[in-house]
Amino acid sequence: MQVAAISFDQFNALADADAQERIRAARAALGARAVLLCHHYQRADVYRHADITGDSLKLSRLAAGTSAEYIVFCGVHFMAEVADILSRPEQISILPDLAAGCSMADMANRAKVERCWRELASVLDPDEHVTPVTYINSAADLKAFCGEHGGIVCTSSNAPKILQWSFAQREKVLFFPDQHLGRWSGHKMGIPMDEMVVWNPDLELGGLTTEQIRKAKIILWYGYCSVHQMFQPRQIERFRQQHPDGFVISHPECSFEVCRNSDYVGSTETILRTVKEGAPNTRWLVGTELNLVERLAEEVKAEGKTVQFMADTVCMCSTMQRIDPQHLAWTLENLAAGNIVNRIAVPAHEAALAKVALERMLAAS
């Protein structure tokens, strides 16, 4: 039987050390009933409690394979949605702070994408000529939109392969919400820059001419990650002047210029693997979120490797930072007391369509 929730008020001013102790106690009480997932970008004082770490899709798939009743996702909203979609019916997905969202995911919503689809129909029939592709960093209803319209989901590691699948279905792609991942992936496939155009949802016909739309192979949504926008080519140039033997690795959410000037470009998992497999005593400049970079730097320090953050200023995933020890302690104590807080439950009709798009991705990649 569900009991009254423990109020967050008593946790809000909790000292960090006390929050850590209460997290440990609640986790011990819950045992295997709860699995704690932490994304690579999660803050260190929460990350230390993780049962499983990784990128968003990996975490959701692994959690679904556990016996846990509760999936506590220390990430952002769309990640907890994916966990709900891919988990077993009896598993419950929870986000410790509902304010942990994603500004890039918010740049494309269902209403704007449906309006784009209608406007494209004034130039061509999108259901015959356009495959919608959504980055996994998007809301569940956009994944459902792709499932409904013959589209698919991609990740930062499989985007080029997913584009190949998409072009095999129809000759054009509408790619949202991150323009940079779409552009870099298209570039890797050899698509000319003038055949990749940006759709601005705040402008009529996306700010494009009918000729641009007809010529385009990829229509890129005007969206971006605020963290990865902080990285600039000049930061790479300065690093190469100071360390000509060093290596540069960037996430594909970075701008095209940053990716083009990097030695390696890849997902969070690729960045971690590449640096860890690199030769001892090498130096690396890394263009992705600060928590991951600092953690990686510490892990490889014993091998004489130096890992340097690319940006000149501190930039973390500010929304993911909202999940702090206080929110985690509050969530876990409620679960231990028999009360479910901050459940993320995707409506059944959306979840079914979104799962179609996700399963297309898993089959194609």
pLDDT tens string 94-107: 999 999 988 999 99
List, for residues 256-294, the tens digit of each pLDDT value. Answer: 999 999 999 999 999 999 999 999 999 999 999 999 999
Instruction: Determine the pLDDT at residue 313.
Output: 79
Domain 105-225 carries which CATH code?
3.40.50
Q: Which parts of the chain register pLDDT below 50?
A: 1
Asked if the peptide bond before residue 347 counts as cis, ω within 30 degrees of 0, the response is no
| Comma-separated ranges of CATH 3.40.50.10800 domains in the chain | 9-100+321-346, 228-309
Query: How far is CA 176 from each of CA 157, 185, 219, rounded to the nearest angstrom?
Result: 16, 13, 9
Helix, strand, coil shares, percent, the chain, to 5: 50, 15, 35
Any idea which residue has 């759709």 for tokens? 199
Query: How far is CA 61 from each of CA 49, 83, 88, 270, rounded to the nearest angstrom?
Result: 19, 7, 10, 18
Under 8 Å between Cβ of 267 and 157: yes
Phi, psi (deg, nearest 5) at residue 34: -125, 140
Any idea which residue has 């790619």 for tokens? 175
Instruction: Work out the burial of residue 205: count CB atoms within 10 Å of its CB; fewer than 13 is exposed, 13-18 middle, 19 or more buried.
Output: middle
Domain 228-309 carries which CATH code?
3.40.50.10800
Under 8 Å between Cβ of 210 and 123: yes
Tokens of 228: 């990865």
Tokens of 168: 């095999």
- Residue 125 is classified by DSSP as -
Instruction: Determine the pLDDT at residue 315.
Output: 67
Under 8 Å between Cβ of 130 and 219: yes
What CATH number matches the domain at 9-100+321-346, 3.30.565.10, 1.20.120.1200, 3.30.390.10, 3.40.50.10800? 3.40.50.10800
What is the number of residues in the chain? 365
Q: For residues 240 and 243, give the distance between their C-alpha atoms in angstroms, rounded to a whole number.
A: 5
- Of 228, 237, 241, the closest CA to residue 262 belongs to 237
Under 8 Å between Cβ of 217 and 172: yes
Instruction: Determine the pLDDT at residue 342.
Output: 96
Tokens of 33: 């009933």
Any idea which residue has 């459940």 for tokens? 343
> H helices within the chain, ranges in order?
9-12, 16-30, 44-47, 56-64, 77-86, 103-106, 110-120, 126-129, 140-148, 159-169, 179-188, 210-215, 233-242, 256-260, 268-277, 290-300, 325-336, 348-364
